[in-house]
Amino acid sequence: MSDTRPNVVLIMADQLRADCLGCYGNTVIETEFIDFLASEGTVFENAYSPSPSCVPARTCLMTGMNQWNTGIMGMGGGQGKSTDGFLHTLPGELAKAGYHTQGIGKMHFSPQRSLCGFHHTVIDESMRKEEKHFVSDYHAWFEQNKTGDYGPVDHGIPFNSWMTRPFQAPEFLHPTNWTVNQAINFLEKRDPTKPFFLKVSFARPHSPYDPPQWYYDKYKEKEPTEPYMGDWATVHDDIQAGKNPDAWHGRIPIEKVMDGRRGYYGSIHHVDHQIGRLMQFMSRYMKNEMQNTLFIFTSDHGDMLGDHFMWRKTYAYEGSARIPLIVKLPTKMKTKQVAVNDKPVTLYDIMPTVLEATGVQIPKTVDGLSLLPLTQDRDVPWRDVVHGEHSTCYSQEEEMQFVTDGKYKYIWFPRTGREQFFRLTEDRSESKDLICDPDYSDKREEYKGKLIEILRARNAGLVDDEGLVVQTKPIISPEYAKRVGV
């Protein structure tokens, strides 16, 4: 008797902000395949990264746990980085339930060859080398297949830079193409007697903004949206800081900012076409399996792209923290699937969603909520807000805590006590800070109260009888030490 449980394809793009897809309202960028997937599924308008940088966000996704319970709330400032040792992970639970599980592309696990529950991984680590003899699968393949004496980043653009230029090697050698090649290879060679879970994880559009020449040229003459500049953004208007090619903040000439945005757009368009290759392969050679597949598309975090004189991620602002999240149900589950949902959702909701859809028991360690009821127009209780945070990375003054429901957002900076408040329904760009506006004092206190309630439950010195307490050290969860045994 064949196993008729649904397959799962989880597609993740690295550092992709929500407003850089057509289905989220961008009219310049071309993302036809992702938009088509969205048209057949549910678009979550208010999806946020719980800790907007690579390792903490991905750990939340893999475990279904919030960032306090994973013990990883950043990529510095006393935060651990081991992603090993969790009792329950998404691929691990599916593997135990009889699924064939495969991870492809950027995993960002530590140790780098950890499986974290997958049967097998084929990885692209974007030049990270944490162990002496480690070589990523992509780089080994690149060296075997290159057509000349060059390396994968000989163009000289760093992996966190605002600079851009075309990929210096033939397009077939780009990691975006390689990732889909490996996904198709798995689909051709998987165990056909089992349902499968496939995570396809692109290392782009994360910088370097180095799309192949065709995609670079495509956006050379186009005009992306100019960066947003808030009435508060002068705090990051630093001419000297902006001279650094790896700058996380600072004043950079607008023509260079726009060039960086064009390169970012080209990288996204390239990812979209490769997703199209994957979907076409499945439509042509796996039609029945494709109809019985749950597709989820998301990102770990966004990219500020020069908004408010800022770049990269780790911030509470929309460009950094708001992510795309699209869920397309298998055909047999699609009755009454809603097109758009505006509930506040986050990455640790993905694990319980997949487990409910596949009939696998959800472990008690999971903090997330299944999105299935929201896709099927079922009335269920839901959280009021998403809570996000990030510890020290670029600057301790930028450590942040935020709560949002997609309508309003309250931000607190634990090291300085600084606060911000935005009305997102009228100002997604977060250009007008309402923290001192008396017309919004009640709303500000309401959302601040939600953050206080969440942090008070930690009993970690973040709240006292008078409210939020300014911190002198990074916020560190005791859960990390418990897990790694230190």
Catalytically annotated residues: 54, 108
Please, are residues 52 and 315 in contact by the beta-carbon 8 Å criterion? yes
Encode 375-395 in three state secondary structure. HCCCCCCCCCCEEEEECCCCC
Distances in Å between the alpha carbon of 157 and those of 210, 245, 315, 393?
8, 9, 23, 21
Specify the amino acid at residue 66: N
Nearest to 26 by CA among 203, 223, 230: 223
Helix (H) or strand (E) holding 35: helix 32-39
Nearest to 83 by CA among 103, 50, 108, 110: 110
- The neighbour count for residue 128, using CB atoms within 10 Å, is 16
Peptide bond into 205 cis (omega under 30): yes
Please, are residues 258 and 208 in contact by the beta-carbon 8 Å criterion? no
Please, are residues 255 and 163 in contact by the beta-carbon 8 Å criterion? no
Please, are residues 450 and 439 in contact by the beta-carbon 8 Å criterion? no
- Longest distance between any two alpha carbons in the chain, whole Å: 67
Based on its alpha-carbon atoms, the radius of gyration of the chain, rounded to whole angstroms, reads 21
Work out whether the CA dihedral 144, 148, 150, 155 comes out positive or negative: negative
**Beta pairing partners, 11:** 200, 297
Please, are residues 78 and 174 in contact by the beta-carbon 8 Å criterion? no
Q: Residue 190: CB partners within 8 Å, gap ≥ 6?
A: 100, 102, 196
